[in-house]
Amino acid sequence: MLLRTTLLAIAFAVLGTVSASAQTPVPTPVQPPSLGGLRPCYVAATEAQREFVVVQGQNFTPFAKIDIFLDDILQTLPDPQPQAAYDGTLSGSVPAPFIDEGQRTFTLRATEHDTLANSAIATSKVTRLSVEQSPAAAATSDRVRFRGRGFTDLTLPIYMHYVYAGKSKQTISLGLPTGDCGLFSVKRKQFPFKKSPQVGVWTIQFDQKPNYDPKASPRVPLTVKVRKAPKIKPKRSPAR
């Protein structure tokens, strides 16, 4: 016990001889609030069908009320108002902004309601889920261009399912989508069949499932009406 007491006394004595500057603790830098975990691109099928942006934040004031903005527009969210946790983290979700066509960048901002300086911003992209055929009207054997976007699983191919009377008649792979927002652009026959397709209403469904599923997500159906080609009457030679 005496030895232990003596050692403790020496330790305190040594600490007591350290300069005053060394005794002052170095403050830990305060990290500003930040947001992370956003995906590269979010999809909007309709105004009512939009993917959710998961909000993951840190370094906010514990228990602070948080305002969420998309493109500087305050979002009206269900009660209770978003609030930082005891450790300054923030978690939740908000629907991605709606877009009529194409794709664009958007900003997500989280700001403490009572301390506006405590704010964090992150950016991502939003795209409209869509497929279009160009030209819109064509013979079934014509080569047309199909363009689409919103197929954001870049590890899965895009498929075209030719559906007639609720049954899949043929499926074609278009390869993997490209870019953050899952784009594709291909040129091929509108109906790559050996025989002419049946007359009637067809659906060409674009999705990322190898087998036709009418409830696949995401999916874009194109309706094509196949009609009989008009018969061309031979021209009569003028009478002589």
Query: Over the stretch 199-226, which tens digit does the pLDDT of each residue have?
Result: 999 999 999 999 999 999 999 999 999 9
Task: Name the percent of the chain lying above pLDDT 90.
Answer: 78
Rounded to an integer, the average pLDDT of 1-23 is 33
Domain boundaries of the chain, sorted by first residue: 34-128, 130-226
Instruction: Give the pLDDT of residue 80.
Output: 86
Q: Which two tokens stand for residue 16?
A: 């007591």
Query: Over the stretch 48-90, which tens digit does the pLDDT of each residue have?
Result: 999 999 999 999 999 999 999 999 999 998 888 899 999 999 9
Instruction: Give the pLDDT of residue 237.
Output: 61
The CA angle 164-170-172, to the nearest 5 degrees, is 130
d(CA 6, CA 23): 23
Instruction: Give the pLDDT of residue 47.
Output: 94
* DSSP structure string for 81-132: PPB--TTS-EEEEEEPPP-SSSEEEEEEEEEESS-TTSEEEEEEEEEE-EEE
Cis peptide before 135 (omega within 30 of 0): yes
Beta carbons of 151 and 186 less than 8 angstroms apart: no
pLDDT surpassing 90 at residue 174: yes
| Average pLDDT of the residues of the chain | 87
- Fold match between domain 34-128 and domain 130-226: yes
Q: Name the CATH architecture for the domain at 34-128.
A: Sandwich (2.60)
pLDDT surpassing 90 at residue 198: yes
User: Most distant CA pair in the chain: distance in Å?
Assistant: 140
Distances 86 to 63, 65, 117, 163 between C-alpha atoms, Å: 6, 12, 19, 54
CATH class of 130-226: mainly beta
Q: Of 62, 71, 75, 66, give the one whose Cα is nearest residue 119.
A: 66
Query: Over the stretch 95-145, which tens digit does the pLDDT of each residue have?
Result: 999 999 999 999 999 999 999 999 999 999 999 999 999 999 999 999 999
